[in-house]
C-alpha cells in the first residue's frame, strides 16, 4: 500500500489550522500544506509574531513554532497543494444558508462544492479526499458525483472524518481524542485501503481501539448527532435553571445531583446564559432541515426545541437584568465581561454576548465591554451584523475597553457573559467601590462566589439560583 507523503488541507480556519498543526507534529515524515483563499488569514498563520495567529488556542503557538516551515506550510497556492497531495482534507466553512431554499436552516455547501470542483480540475494523480467539515448526511454522494465525472482518468476515494475538537481545548482534544471517526466505502478494496491509510496517520498517536470505522453516511450523521446531543444537554439544564429560579432550587446542586448518576454523567451540565459557537446552532438547524426534507416533522420539531430553549435563555437573561434594574436600563451604563462564546478562544461566532448586548441596546442601555482576547473591531462587527440599528448608534451606545477597572467605572450593573478564569481573580472590592449603588452583578456563567460577592455589597444574581 502506498504511504501518504503529502497532505493538503483546504481551509485554514479554527479546524484546519490546529488539526494540521497536530498531524504535522505527530507525523514528521509527512509534508502538510494548509491552503486558503483568504490571503490575510494565510499571512497571519505565517506571521513571525505568534500573537498574530488568526486562531487563539492554548498550546497552538508552540506547535506552530516547532513545525512551521519544517513539514507544516500555510499557502494560498491551492492548485499546487492539491496537485502534489496524496490526501486532501476539505475543512472549509459550512455556514447556515442566508438566502434561497432552506434559508436560515440548511447548510450552505457552496464552499464544499467549489473545493470538489477545484480538486476535479487540478488533480492529475489518484487522491483520497476527506470531508473534515461538518456536512449534511449524504453530502459525500454529491462530492463523489463531481469528482467521478471528470474523465481525466484520476481515481478518487472519498472519506468522512468529522472533527470533534472543542475550541479553547483544541490541542488537547486533538492530541487525546475520545475517538477518531472514519467513514468510507467499506465494501470495496479501494475504499478499505483509503480508510487504512487515514487510520495509519492517526495511529501515530491515537490508540487503535479509539479509531472507529463506519459506512460514510453513519459517519456524516454521527457528527451532527454528537453536536445535537451536546447542545440538548445544555438546553435541558438551562430549562431547569428557569424552574430553579422560580422555586428556590439551585441549578448547581441539581446538576451535581443528577451528574452522579453514571448514566447521566457530570459533564456538560453547566447552566449558562446560553450556548454559542459556530456549530451547535448551525448543525441542529441542519438536522432539523434534513429531517423535514425526509418528512420527519416530529423529529424536526424535537430538535428545533433545543434551539428555541437556547434563544429563550439568552432573552430571559437580558430581561432579568432589565426587570431587576427597576424595569429600565435607559442611559444606564452596564458592563459586559466577556464577548467570546466560551473561555480560551477569540471566537465570537453566535456568542450569547452578542444577543444580550442587542437586547440591552434596544432598551437604550450604555454598554462597556471587556474581553481579554476579542478585538474592538470584532465586537462592533458582531453587533453591526445584526442590523438592528445603525453603526453610528451602536458606536454611541457601546464602548470597548482593554482594562477591567475602566470598564466597570460608573456602571449600574455587570453581566458576566464568558467564563474567563481571570474574572474570578479581579479585585471585586475595588470594582464595587467604583460602581453606582446599588451595584448589581448578573453572573451568566455562575463563576463568582455568591456569598463573597454579597458580603462585598453586591446584589448578586446567578443563573438558576
Contact residues: ligand UGA, CB under 6 A: 134, 163-167, 227, 230, 234, 268-270, 272, 275-280, 341-342
Nearer of residues 134 and 346 to ligand NAD, judged by Cβ: 134
Nearer of residues 270 and 346 to ligand UGA, judged by Cβ: 270
Q: How far apart are CA 282 and CA 278, in angstroms?
A: 7
Span between the terminal Cα atoms of the chain, in Å = 60
Q: Note whether 366 and 394 are within 8 A (CB).
A: no
Grid coordinates representing 260 are: 452522579
Using CB under 6 A as the binding rule, whether residue 36 contacts ligand NAD is answered as yes
**Residues 169-208: x where in contact with ligand NAD by CB under 6 A, - otherwise, as a string:** ----------------------------------------
Nearer of residues 6 and 320 to ligand NAD, judged by Cβ: 6
Q: Least distance in Å: CB of 418 to ligand NAD?
A: 16
Q: Least distance in Å: CB of 164 to ligand UGA?
A: 4
Among candidates 214, 216, 223, which has minimal Cα distance to 284? 223
**Residues 128-147: x where in contact with ligand NAD by CB under 6 A, - otherwise, as a string:** -----xx-------------
Q: How far apart are CA 161 and CA 259, in angstroms?
A: 30
Q: Least distance in Å: CB of 22 to ligand UGA?
A: 14
Using CB under 6 A as the binding rule, whether residue 154 contacts ligand NAD is answered as no
Which option in ligand NAD, ligand UGA, none does residue 456 bind, with CB closer than 5 to 8 A by kind? none
**Residues 274-303: x where in contact with ligand NAD by CB under 6 A, - otherwise, as a string:** ----xx------------------------
**Residues 60-79: x where in contact with ligand NAD by CB under 6 A, - otherwise, as a string:** ------------------x-
The answer for residues whose C-beta is within 8 angstroms of residue 54's C-beta and 6 or more apart is: 12, 13, 17, 41, 44, 45
Find the helix or strand (DSSP H, E) in which 226 lies.
helix 216-247
Grid coordinates representing 278 are: 459556530
Judging by DSSP bridges, how do beta strands 6-10 and 366-370 pair with one another? unpaired
Is 115 among the residues known to form the active site?
no
CA 10 to the chain's CA centroid? 18
Nearer of residues 191 and 259 to ligand UGA, judged by Cβ: 259
Which option in ligand NAD, ligand UGA, none does residue 57 bind, with CB closer than 5 to 8 A by kind? none
- Pick out residues in 308-337 that bind ligand NAD (CB under 6 A): none
Q: 415's torsion region: left (phi>0), alpha (psi -120 to 50) or beta?
A: beta
**Residues 404-433: x where in contact with ligand NAD by CB under 6 A, - otherwise, as a string:** ------------------------------
Q: How far apart are CA 351 and CA 355, in angstroms?
A: 8
Which letter does DSSP use for residue 68 in this model?
B
Q: How far apart are CA 461 and CA 317, in angstroms?
A: 10
Grid coordinates representing 4 are: 501518504
Among candidates 182, 220, 185, 173, which has minimal Cα distance to 201? 182
CB atoms near residue 284 (< 10 Å): 23
Which option in ligand NAD, ligand UGA, none does residue 41 bind, with CB closer than 5 to 8 A by kind? ligand NAD
Q: Which residues bind ligand NAD (CB under 6 A)?
A: 10-16, 36-38, 41, 78, 91-94, 111, 114-115, 133-134, 163, 165, 167, 278-279
Q: Would you please indicate which residues are annotated as catalytic (active-site) residues?
A: 279
Amino acid at each position: 500500500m502506498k504511504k501518504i507523503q503529502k497532505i493538503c488541507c483546504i481551509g485554514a480556519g479554527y479546524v484546519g489550522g490546529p488539526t494540521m498543526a497536530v498531524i504535522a507534529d505527530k507525523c514528521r515524515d509527512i509534508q502538510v500544506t494548509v491552503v486558503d483563499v483568504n490571503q490575510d488569514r494565510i499571512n497571519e498563520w505565517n506571521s513571525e509574531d505568534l500573537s498574530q495567529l488568526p486562531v487563539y488556542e492554548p498550546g497552538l503557538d508552540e506547535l506552530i513554532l516547532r513545525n512551521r516551515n519544517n513539514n507544516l506550510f500555510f499557502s494560498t497556492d491551492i492548485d499546487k497543494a492539491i496537485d502534489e497531495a496524496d490526501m486532501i482534507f476539505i475543512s472549509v466553512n459550512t455556514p447556515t444558508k442566508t438566502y434561497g431554499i432552506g434559508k436560515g436552516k440548511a447548510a450552505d455547501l457552496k464552499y464544499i462544492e467549489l473545493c470538489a470542483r477545484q480538486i476535479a480540475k487540478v488533480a492529475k494523480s489518484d487522491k483520497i479526499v476527506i470531508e473534515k467539515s461538518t456536512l449534511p448526511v449524504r453530502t459525500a454522494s454529491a462530492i463523489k458525483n463531481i469528482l467521478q465525472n471528470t474523465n481525466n482518468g484520476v481515481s478518487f476515494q472519498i472519506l468522512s472524518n468529522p472533527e470533534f475538537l472543542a475550541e479553547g481545548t483544541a490541542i488537547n482534544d486533538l492530541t487525546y481524542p475520545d475517538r477518531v471517526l472514519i467513514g468510507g466505502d467499506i465494501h470495496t478494496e479501494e475504499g478499505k485501503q483509503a480508510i487504512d491509510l487515514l487510520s495509519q496517520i492517526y495511529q501515530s498517536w491515537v490508540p487503535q481501539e479509539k479509531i472507529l470505522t463506519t459506512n460514510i453516511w453513519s459517519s456524516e450523521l454521527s457528527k451532527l448527532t454528537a453536536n445535537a446531543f451536546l447542545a440538548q444537554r445544555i438546553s435541558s439544564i438551562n430549562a431547569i435553571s428557569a424552574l430553579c429560579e422560580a422555586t428556590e432550587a439551585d441549578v448547581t446542586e441539581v446538576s451535581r445531583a443528577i451528574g452522579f448518576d453514571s448514566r447521566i454523567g457530570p459533564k456538560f451540565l453547566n447552566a449558562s446564559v446560553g450556548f454559542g459557537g459556530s456549530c451547535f446552532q448551525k448543525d441542529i438547524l441542519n438536522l432539523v432541515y434534513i429531517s423535514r426534507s425526509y418528512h420527519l416533522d416530529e423529529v424536526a420539531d424535537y430538535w428545533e426545541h433545543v434551539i428555541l430553549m437556547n434563544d429563550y435563555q439568552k432573552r430571559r437573561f437580558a430581561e432579568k437584568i432589565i426587570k431587576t434594574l427597576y424595569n429600565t436600563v435607559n442611559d444606564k451604563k452596564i458592563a459586559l465581561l466577556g464577548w467570546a462564546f466560551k473561555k480560551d478562544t477569540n471566537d465570537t461566532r453566535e456568542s450569547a454576548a452578542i444577543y444580550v448586548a442587542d437586547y440591552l441596546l434596544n432598551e437604550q442601555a450604555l454598554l462597556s465591554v471587556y474581553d481579554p482576547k476579542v478585538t474592538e473591531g470584532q465586537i462592533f462587527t458582531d453587533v453591526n451584523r445584526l442590523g438592528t440599528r445603525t453603526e453610528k448608534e451602536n458606536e454611541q451606545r457601546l464602548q470597548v475597553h482593554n482594562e477591567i477597572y475602566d470598564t466597570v467605572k460608573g456602571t449600574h450593573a455587570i453581566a458576566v457573559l464568558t467564563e474567563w478564569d481571570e474574572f474570578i481573580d479581579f479585585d471585586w472590592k475595588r470594582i464595587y467601590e467604583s460602581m453606582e449603588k446599588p451595584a448589581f452583578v448578573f453572573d451568566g456563567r455562575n463563576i463568582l462566589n455568591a456569598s463573597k460577592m454579597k458580603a462585598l455589597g453586591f446584589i448578586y444574581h446567578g443563573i438558576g439560583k
